[in-house]
């Protein structure tokens, strides 16, 4: 089996089975995961929803701001300080749910359906599957989200033009914030795939995702103030927000520190997923 003659001539002794030489490579696993992702209807629906959330919620927030401004009534504090950028990333909260859930489905869905057995039979070394899923989904989520927030910014800019919230794209921090929002959502997608692989359960993965992005910040708010200031900035949600917020108050992390912390959370989730994938029976 192990001896393969290179360039054997037709005259050489006939082997009982002449079979083609296939080989598993990292790039091919990536290709397979790419094909798997796009061959499911849920991918198209969920990604479409994410894009819709980003653009539509931004537009709704902007329209709301404009109508409140036009009504002549005094604006609420949050609205008074609103910027076109803040309104454009308003949809991020909703899009992160759709993207995170799709990430969980990409991995945990293989366990719930049994597909994982086919996947791991083809790639028994296992880890390339996790890296490929995370890379494919993370990059798609990154690209889609970046397009989403940029479109949202253009739409919002049109709606709030000639109001105090109007902001040119050349304004310091605007481009960084838009790219930060795209990157944040891309990483949420990676965290989703990691949680799905770690917990091997769609319901479990979604629960932990929602809890860590949306519930934990609320719980931390119940802690004494000084603790809050120490913990809160490092939570995934706060660190992520630092990546796409235009301005940062004293307690918030800087955009780059926010990115570093959020990357840390991502790596942690991936490491847990890798450990479980390699150690546990499929």
Partner 1 sequence: MIEAHQLTKRYGEKTAVDRLDFVVRPGAVTGFLGPNGAGKSTTMRMIVGLDAPSGGSVTVNGRAYARHTAPLREVGALLEAKSIHPGRSAFDHLMAQAHTHGIPRRRVEEVIGLTGLQSVAGKRAGAFSLGMGQRLGIAAALLGDPATVMLDEPVNGLDPEGVLWIRNLLTGLAADGRTVFVSSHLMSEMALVADHLIVVGRGRLLADTTVRELVERAGGDTVTVSSDETARLREVLAGPGVEVTGAAGSEELHVSGLSSQEIGLRAAEHGIPLYELRSRTVSLEQAFMDLTRDAVEYHATTDVETPGRAA
Q: Which residues bind partner 1 (CB under 8 A)?
A: 1-2, 16-17, 19-25, 28-29, 31-32, 35-36, 39-42, 109-110, 113-118, 120-126, 281-282
**Nearest approach, Cβ of residue 37 and partner 1 (Å):** 9
CA separation for the pair 158, 160 (Å, rounded): 6
Question: Residues with Cβ < 8 Å from 151, sequence gap 6 or more?
Answer: 54, 55
CA separation for the pair 190, 194 (Å, rounded): 6
**Nearest approach, Cβ of residue 138 and partner 1 (Å):** 19
Choose between 40 and 210: whose C-beta lies nearer to partner 1: 40
**Nearest approach, Cβ of residue 31 and partner 1 (Å):** 5
DSSP string, 130-192: HHHHHHHHHHHHHHHHHHHHHHHHHHHHHHSTTSTT---TTSTTHHHHHHHHHHHHHHHHHHH
Choose between 32 and 212: whose C-beta lies nearer to partner 1: 32
**Nearest approach, Cβ of residue 139 and partner 1 (Å):** 17
Choose between 21 and 77: whose C-beta lies nearer to partner 1: 21
Among 56, 259, 90, 95, which Cα is nearest to 176's? 259
CA separation for the pair 30, 35 (Å, rounded): 9
Query: What angle in degrees, to the nearest 10, is found between the helix axes of 92-113 and 115-122?
Result: 80
**Nearest approach, Cβ of residue 135 and partner 1 (Å):** 15
Choose between 151 and 282: whose C-beta lies nearer to partner 1: 282
Choose between 125 and 211: whose C-beta lies nearer to partner 1: 125
Question: Residue 33: how many CB atoms within 10 A of its CB?
Answer: 24
Contact (CB, 8 A) for 190 and 137:
yes
In order of 15, 114, 269, the CA distances from 10 in angstroms are 11, 43, 53
Number of C-alpha atoms within 13 angstroms, CB side, residue 281? 0
Choose between 24 and 211: whose C-beta lies nearer to partner 1: 24
Choose between 37 and 85: whose C-beta lies nearer to partner 1: 37
**Nearest approach, Cβ of residue 24 and partner 1 (Å):** 5
**Nearest approach, Cβ of residue 23 and partner 1 (Å):** 5
């Amino acid at each position: 089996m192990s001896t393969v003659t290179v360039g054997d001539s037709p005259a050489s002794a006939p082997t009982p089975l002449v079979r083609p030489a296939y080989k598993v490579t990292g790039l091919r696993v990536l290709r397979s995961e790419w094909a798997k992702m796009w061959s499911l209807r849920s991918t198209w629906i969920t990604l479409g929803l994410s894009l819709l959330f980003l653009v539509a919620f931004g537009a709704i927030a902007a329209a709301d701001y404009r109508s409140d401004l036009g009504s002549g009534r005094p604006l609420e504090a949050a609205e008074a300080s609103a910027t076109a950028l803040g309104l454009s990333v308003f949809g991020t909260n909703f899009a992160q749910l759709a993207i995170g859930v799709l990430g969980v489905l990409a991995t945990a869905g293989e366990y719930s359906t049994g597909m994982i057995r086919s996947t791991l039979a083809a790639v028994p070394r296992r880890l390339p599957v996790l890296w490929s899923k995370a890379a494919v989904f993370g990059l798609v989520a990154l690209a889609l989200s970046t397009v989403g927030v940029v479109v949202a910014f253009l739409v919002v800019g049109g709606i709030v033009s000639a109001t105090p919230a109007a902001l040119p794209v050349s304004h310091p921090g605007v481009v960084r914030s838009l790219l930060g929002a795209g990157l944040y959502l891309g990483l949420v997608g990676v965290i989703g795939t990691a949680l799905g692989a770690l917990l091997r359960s769609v319901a479990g993965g979604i629960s932990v995702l929602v809890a860590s992005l949306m519930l934990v910040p609320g719980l931390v708010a119940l802690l004494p103030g000084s603790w809050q200031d120490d913990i809160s900035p490092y939570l995934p949600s706060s660190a992520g927000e630092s990546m796409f917020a235009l301005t940062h108050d004293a307690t918030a992390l800087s955009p780059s520190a926010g990115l570093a912390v959020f990357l840390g959370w991502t790596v942690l989730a991936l490491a847990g997923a890798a450990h479980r994938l390699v150690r546990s029976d499929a």
